[in-house]
Amino acid sequence: MRRQGSPGPASPGPMAGPLDALFSPRTVAIVGASADSAKWGHILSRRALSSPGDRTVLLVNRSGGEVLGRPTYPSAVAAAAAAEQRVDLAVLCVPAGGFVAAVTDAVAAGARALVGITAGLAESGAEGARLEAEALAVARAGGAVLLGPNCLGIVDTGSGLQLAHAELPPGDVAVLSQSGNLVLDLAGLLADRGLGVSRFVSLGNQADLGLVDFLRACVHHAGTRAVAVYTEDVGDGRAFLEAARALRDAGKPLVLLAPGRSEAAIRGAASHTGSLTSSSMVVDAACAASGAHRVDHPTQLADLLVALRAPRRMAGRRVAILTDGGGHGAVAADALAAAGLSTPALTSGLTDDLAAALWGQATVSNPVDLAGAGEQDVASYARGVELLLASGQVDGVLLTGFFGGYSTEQSNLTAPELAAAARMAASVAAQDKPLVVQTIHPTSPSAELLRAAGIPVHRDVDRACAVLAGLCERSPSGLAEPLPPPGPPVAATSYDAARALFADVGIAFPTQRTVTDAGELDRALAAMGYPVVLKATGRLHKSEGGGVVLGLADRAAAEAAYDDLVARLAPPAVSVEEMADLDVGVELIVGAVRDRTFGPVVMVGLGGVLTEVLGDTACAIAPVTPAAARDLLLTLRGAAVLAGVRGRAPVDLDALADLVSRVSVVAAAHPELVELELNPVLAGPSGVLALDARVVADGQVTSRR
């Protein structure tokens, strides 16, 4: 039945596409409409009838009767016939057992978009999964798309469509979520910050339409300026990367709330690389590869959405602290460090300028402490901000402390503080670095003036520092390269086969021979220089059980070690290798895993066989270019050792980055391999050597996440 005040039946001509039928339907059928106010069929009937816009709403209840004073129809087909209109969108609020029949009826009524509120399908077991698959087949055969099932509705504030549990405030943030209650929380947080929702999609089971489909739709949706996502699984990881990049290129920030930072390392991994690469690390790598921003809770998400609306970004991670008290400065420095940002000491030139601009008691190192100058000269806040923003020594500025307090009450400092705030706003607008403010007076007139100028203002220093971290610009070289075509499958995963696989792409190893008896050992030793290493092959971790013997300085030592390995371990073969000089380089691990969502992921870490002890690793979506590999290496906490410390020469970083890139390409070209590893890799001043190799084929790992 058409809502009161709407015109007569419209032409049932074709719409632009199924997503138009989903977001801007001319005719909506609520299937399972109910007079029971506690049921979804009642809630969504009320929402549909009260939504603004020129839209026909049909209520379907197989038992007939009235709902909300409106007649119902026994089927969607009957409702469409009575209204002389095809159904564009059908919202299905029926029990699981009636879901297939409801989909069939809706498609027969012309529906090209279906929203499945119905729960108890694939998420509940095999029978529910069967019903869900059957319903999806019916929908697809009829040319319809399905959102859900097991979802909590859809909203498009531009078209006036409000089909969710609560009415959401209009705005320009698209919210795509696997959690309904979280959206209610986020909507309130956005409203508190003067923001609202352009579209809301409850993803549900994603049986048909999924997260990526809606990300793509946001790219071209004029009413959306930013996208907020809550998800526990992005589905097709590579398609997610492409859609996220498209949003980035369109100037629409994507902020992702994905739980799982507390997850332990991959269970059942066969290599060190596998055990050290968690799914949370991979999600972080995906965000780095696509320009998305990851947050840990809804408040942080809302804070960052506000900050990202301004064009200013952090080109690096260096932050200057400007404070009016030593305590605030010290606390801010710790909070910045916890957020992964640095507070570098400022050097001459800038410190000279600061000393000249501020009063004599100010500290000008970093934090820059005005030491109570506000009451003497409120304009010193603005002068300090101007000099720090103009400096090439930092990438952003955090103002922390009392600023804002002088305008809370009328005094002779009120006007000067407001003038200082206006001067700060002007200096921020004139350049491309961000200023974030933490103040104990976040609602003061001065704070509101800054906030109105697009400058984030917070009461809590941790939130302010999290915003600065979220404003760090992603390097273009950090974007993953497209997947190469698959190479010939690896037929064997033995030690020799692993070395050959990497050697074929130009990765260097020490001279090596595989021997199976004493005669072959003699010939191998005759062809090599000392010292040598013996490795018992046929073992996934050769060092376990004493399977690797280092530093054998002569033939007698090598023969004795060989006899001992054979007696203790009975290996199928022994690898004899020239031993590299471990004193002239840095040991690392370089490997890759195949993530079930994002595919190949390359990992680097300091320490080689001690990587697990040091816990200093980083990963990126593979394949990566040498430039991206170099960036990845420099994110390691101990990256300074690569540049040379305590008199040691710097390593050949270009050669090391090239090796990492080659490993990533091998991983990307061999989908049959789930783990690859070079450990250790010896990086020295004149090049890099891989000292051991391992590959693991699908099926050799007991479990994957």
Overall average pLDDT of the 330-345 stretch:
96
Give tens-digit pLDDT for 367-379. 999 987 777 899 9
Residue 231 structure tokens? 């998800």
Give tens-digit pLDDT for 412-444. 889 999 999 999 999 999 999 999 999 999 999
pLDDT over 70, % of the chain: 93
8-state DSSP, 39 = S
Residue 356, pLDDT above cutoff 50: yes
> What is the C-alpha to C-alpha distance for residues 79 and 603, in angstroms, rounded to an integer?
58
Residue 14, pLDDT above cutoff 80: no
Dihedral class, residue 471 (left if φ above 0, else alpha if ψ from -120 to 50, else beta): alpha
On whether the CB atoms of residues 400 and 461 are closer than 8 A, the answer is yes
Overall average pLDDT of the 237-252 stretch:
94
Q: Higher-confidence residue: 538 or 415?
A: 415
Residue 29, pLDDT above cutoff 90: yes
For residue 13, name the pLDDT band (cuts at 50, 70, 90): very low
Predicted pLDDT of residue 672: 93
Predicted pLDDT of residue 628: 93
Residue 71 structure tokens? 């007649």
The helix/strand count (H/E) of the chain reads as 23, 30
Q: Higher-confidence residue: 89 or 616?
A: 89
Fold for domain 319-472? Rossmann fold (3.40.50)
Q: 150 Cβ partners below 8 Å, 6+ apart?
A: 116, 117, 118, 119, 120, 121, 122, 123, 204, 205
Average pLDDT, the chain: 90
Give tens-digit pLDDT for 483-510. 888 888 888 889 999 999 999 999 999 9
Under CATH, domain 511-578 is a member of which superfamily?
Answer: ATP-grasp fold, A domain (3.30.1490.20)
Predicted pLDDT of residue 541: 67
Q: Which of 458, 465, 417, 424 is nearest to 441 (CA)?
A: 458
Residue 263, pLDDT above cutoff 80: no
Q: Say what the pTM is.
A: 0.87
Predicted pLDDT of residue 704: 35
Residue 282, pLDDT above cutoff 60: yes
Residue 648, pLDDT above cutoff 80: yes
Under CATH, domain 585-697 is a member of which superfamily?
Answer: ATP-grasp fold, B domain (3.30.470.20)
Torsion of CA 605, 607, 609, 612, to 10 degrees: -60
> What is the C-alpha to C-alpha distance for residues 449 and 421, in angstroms, rounded to an integer?
7
User: How do beta strands 512-515 and 457-458 pair?
Assistant: unpaired
Residue 488 burial by CB count (10 A; 0-12/13-18/19+): exposed, middle or buried? Answer: exposed
> What is the C-alpha to C-alpha distance for residues 662 and 668, in angstroms, rounded to an integer?
10
How many CB atoms are located within 10 Å of the residue 29 CB? 34
Q: For 71-106, give the DSSP string.
A: E-BSSHHHHHHHHTS--SEEEE---GGGHHHHHHHH
Give tens-digit pLDDT for 658-667. 999 999 999 9
Residue 316 structure tokens? 């690096």
Q: Which of 604, 602, 605, 603 is nearest to 623 (CA)?
A: 602
Predicted pLDDT of residue 178: 87
Q: 74 Cβ partners below 8 Å, 6+ apart?
A: 60, 61, 62, 63, 64
Q: 76 Cβ partners below 8 Å, 6+ apart?
A: 29, 31, 58, 60, 87, 90, 102, 105, 106, 108, 109, 111
Domain boundaries, the chain: 1-152, 319-472, 511-578, 585-697
Residue 611, pLDDT above cutoff 80: no
319-472 and 585-697 in the same fold: no
CATH class of 1-152: alpha beta
Report the range of poorest mean pLDDT among 28-32, 470-474, 554-558, 591-595: 470-474
> What is the C-alpha to C-alpha distance for residues 617 and 273, in angstroms, rounded to an integer?
9
Give tens-digit pLDDT for 284-309. 999 999 999 999 999 999 999 999 99
On whether the CB atoms of residues 464 and 398 are closer than 8 A, the answer is yes
Residue 274, pLDDT above cutoff 90: no
Overall average pLDDT of the 538-562 stretch:
86
For residue 46, name the pLDDT band (cuts at 50, 70, 90): very high
For residue 277, name the pLDDT band (cuts at 50, 70, 90): low
Q: Which of 286, 243, 284 is nearest to 622 (CA)?
A: 286
Q: 312 Cβ partners below 8 Å, 6+ apart?
A: 428, 431, 432, 433, 434, 471
Predicted pLDDT of residue 270: 45
- By residue count, the chain amounts to 705
Q: Which of 619, 613, 611 is nearest to 592 (CA)?
A: 619
Overall average pLDDT of the 108-132 stretch:
95
